[in-house]
A and B are shown apart, each in its own frame.
Chain A
Amino acid sequence: MIPSTISRRRALQVLGGATLLGAAGQLLSASRTRIAGELAGPGLDAFTAVSRTLTGKAALDPALSLALYHALRADAPDFDGQMAALAATLAQGKALAGDKMAFSEAQAPQQALSQAILQGWYLGVVGKGSKAVSVAFVDALANRAVAAVLTPPSYSYGPCGSWQARP
């Protein structure tokens, strides 16, 4: 059991990282090993680097990064090319200077791509309409962000009435 001296949020963060790594290592099925093999390389690294910049997080789950990269590439064939262009734009430093993104009119597609990447990390969903797919739920960053107070919908919070207490 998680000792009460460690805050629940911290414990879940540690567990989350460890478990994803553990899951990726322990139970990598044959198909995922193949995918990981195919996808490992500069494309994945560029995506992970751009993701770090957009999310502002130094450490991102490698298994989730792999899954999102795979799904985003399936959704947009020229994804690696788009990644390179986006990385270059972000390196100029203007787009993410403020709290909200500030891409120019001409860069509107890059803004849309940035938002799609953030949607993937935070909501675990890639793509729109019939091509939308969910690659993560409990590990989506939005759920992790509120994990100290909420459990993701469909998972139990606690015994009946435990939600009376002030969070």
Chain B
Amino acid sequence: MKAFLHRVIPVVLGLVLCASAGASRRFDAATIERGRYLATASDCIACHTAHHNGAPMAGGLVMSSPVGDIVSTNITPSKRHGIGDYTEQQFADALRKGIRADGQPLYPAMPYVSYAALTDPDVHALYAYFMEGVPAVEKAAPHTSLPFPMNVRMSMKVWNALFLDPQPLARTEGRSAQWLRGRYLAEGAAHCSTCHTPRGALMQEKKELNMAGSQVGQWYAPNITPHPTAGIGSWSEAELAQYLRTGRLEGKSQAAGSMAEAITYSFSHLEQADLDAIAHYIKSLPPVDLGETGTPGAPRFGQGQAGHALGEVRGQGYAAGMAGPQLGAQVYSANCASCHGASGEGTRDGYYPSLFHNSATVGKTNLIAAILLGVDRKTADGHVFMPPFGDQPNALNRLSDKEVAALANYIGVKFGGGDASVKPEDIAVIRQGGPRSPLLTMARVGMAIGVLVLLALAFTIVRRRRGKVGA
């Protein structure tokens, strides 16, 4: 439904706006359409629209970040509640410099670090789309208020001075047009590195480890460098383009969480030539191995094999199975096997994927997130739906931290080449939104130390003065 609204309503209302007597149109239809395509490639809608019937681009989506919750803003052309009063220069500054119209910096949850690559004509087209292609929504989005000192936006100016590169795409020689287009989209509009690149202590992207994998809230955005075992070196360019278009590569991987969203709202709508260009570029990146996942030397798509432990639990009854040492096997049989098969083999044609030869079961995070949050992905191929097993209203089987940990260990060992190292505490962390960054504590401690140092300094100065006076 949202995709439908996203596509049809702007066009229809654009036409209506054309026809209405009072409105004066500054932009032609072709520019607005190019802006719409670029907005799709940039996936603005995914963050700037609240889930469950939010109006498109009207903000209100609460995003859990390691330093607190950030709420997206209304970027419809509403003058009171949105960006209707923005000039093109202000729009460009927000997009590429992370500065709002009132001069305050934005938080880099808005990937202006990537969008800094956008060219002037493309920014112009985007401006045209947001001014005249998006219906105005007269409703304010809630404000973001991060805990102190993160709510002091001016500190972002220092961060930007350190980490915002106004020309993020270096000049190169001898690269094909397809590679350049791919880099422009992947590093710019599609902002892949925002999720897939690991971050440093101050939460800046570590460019030397570009696309080597990073935790994003409850999910792990995996290594997409062409490393043969740690990354997607075993994928062809055509396979990567197919994955972007459909969200699935049989026998290898499927998209969930934010990537499923990105595929549903962005990648699946891009032209094949652009998908091919992105794939071509990504496959040209330097291969990196962070040593994160699975059995060393084996790619994360080739781990595990079919199997079950039903012999351990049959003949005893459900209650005994749940109380005994085979908790993981019993939970698997009771909750997962109905779709994923008694031996993890999935269904014919992989509609319900097998759990071996599946990158989702390698490593801990995405396995846990998939269990707790499920998968919900719509493309032209259809609707892929795995129900969640967390605390959601439609989770008719709510699994406890202990049950999910046992299940994740069972699946990880049996199908993912892993060890049984998941603990109930790991589940609790994912359930509450993902790991918290130490940055907040560091900042507060740093400030406290700073205050103490100043106090000590002041004390020393006062004492010396008194001393001088007294002497």
Contact = CB atoms under 8 A, between A and B. Distances in A.
B415 to A, nearest CB: 12
Contacts, number: 93
A27 B308 CA distance: 10
Nearest to B315: A135
Given A157-B347, A159-B351, A27 B309 contact: yes
Interface in A7-49: 8, 12, 15-16, 18-20, 22-24, 26-27, 29, 32
Interface in B309-327: 309-312, 314-315, 325-326
B351 A162 contact: yes
B303 interface: no
B13 to A, nearest CB: 35
A15 B345 contact: yes
A155 B338 CA distance: 4
B128 interface: no
Given A1-B250, A136-B310, A158 B349 contact: yes
A89 to B, nearest CB: 29
B315 A155 contact: no
Contacts of A155: 337-338, 341-342
B357 A67 contact: no
A137 interface: yes
A45 to B, nearest CB: 19
Nearest to B339: A156
Contacts of A133: 315
B354 interface: yes
A44 to B, nearest CB: 15
Interface residues of B, number: 33
B315 A15 contact: no
A67 B347 contact: no
In which size bucket is the chain A interface?
A: 35 or more
A53 interface: no
A5 interface: no
The interface residues of chain B, by DSSP majority, are classed as loop
A153 to B, nearest CB: 10
A71 interface: yes
Nearest to B350: A1
Contact of B312 (A27, A139, A151, A159): A27
Given A156-B338, A156-B347, A162-B349, A136 B312 contact: no
Contacts of B306: 15, 18-19
A18 B311 CA distance: 13
Nearest to A74: B315
Contact of A137 (B310, B326, B346): B310
Interface in B324-365: 325-326, 329, 337-343, 345-352, 354, 357
Interface of A: 1-2, 8, 12, 15-16, 18-20, 22-24, 26-27, 29, 32, 63-64, 67, 71, 124, 133-139, 151-152, 154-159, 162
CB-CB nearest 6 A-B residue pairs: A1-B251, A19-B307, A159-B351, A138-B342, A158-B347, A15-B306
25 contacts: A1-B346, A1-B350, A1-B354, A15-B307, A16-B343, A18-B305, A19-B305, A19-B306, A20-B311, A27-B326, A29-B325, A67-B314, A67-B315, A135-B314, A136-B310, A138-B343, A155-B337, A155-B338, A156-B338, A156-B352, A157-B348, A158-B347, A158-B352, A159-B349, A159-B351
